[in-house]
Amino acid sequence: MQTRVISLLVEDNPGVLTRMSGMFTMRGINISSLTVSPCEKPGLSRMTVTIEGSESELENVRKQLSNLIEVIKVVDLKENESIIRDLCLIKVHTKNVEARTEVMQLAESYGAKIADASLDSMILELADEPERIERFIELMKHFGIKQLFRTGITAIGRD
């Protein structure tokens, strides 16, 4: 199994997302992350899809995506040739001064922002590579995670 990040330039029309996800469903491929947003070209959107599968499954998906009418361009974003980011909002318990201090120190070492704080919790914001966010979440489990939200992967090629 490999993980692939695919960037799609698509027409910004109703039903495009449904047809895309249906294509993945018919092939039994799970989408682990999906982001969609307007892009620099009016009338078009950019989708970043993260999927896992064998090399042949992934190649078939790429070809099928290229055949969809609404898809203008398909780019397979390789990790060493792309900037890949995810955004995480996490609310953790901070029951006492010691816990609050430790959370603040860890947040600072990871470059996370403190988005909000109350007497018994903090909301932290971290935009980074997915693996680094995973490590941060593992550390925050020690304090107790009240809520966790991630936007999904977005990526851009370096060239």
The string of DSSP codes covering 63-109 is HHHHHSTTEEEEEEE-GGGEEEEEEEEEEEE--SHHHHHHHHHHHHH
pLDDT, residue 97, reads 95
Residue type, position 54, single letter: S
In tens, the pLDDT along 80-89 reads 999 999 999 9
pLDDT, residue 2, reads 84
The rounded distance, in Å, linking the Cα atoms of 115 and 78 is: 32
pLDDT, residue 28, reads 85
pLDDT, residue 116, reads 98
pLDDT, residue 149, reads 97
Question: In the chain, which stretches have pLDDT less than 70?
Answer: none
pTM: 0.84
Other beta carbons within 10 Å of 131: 10
Residue type, position 102, single letter: E
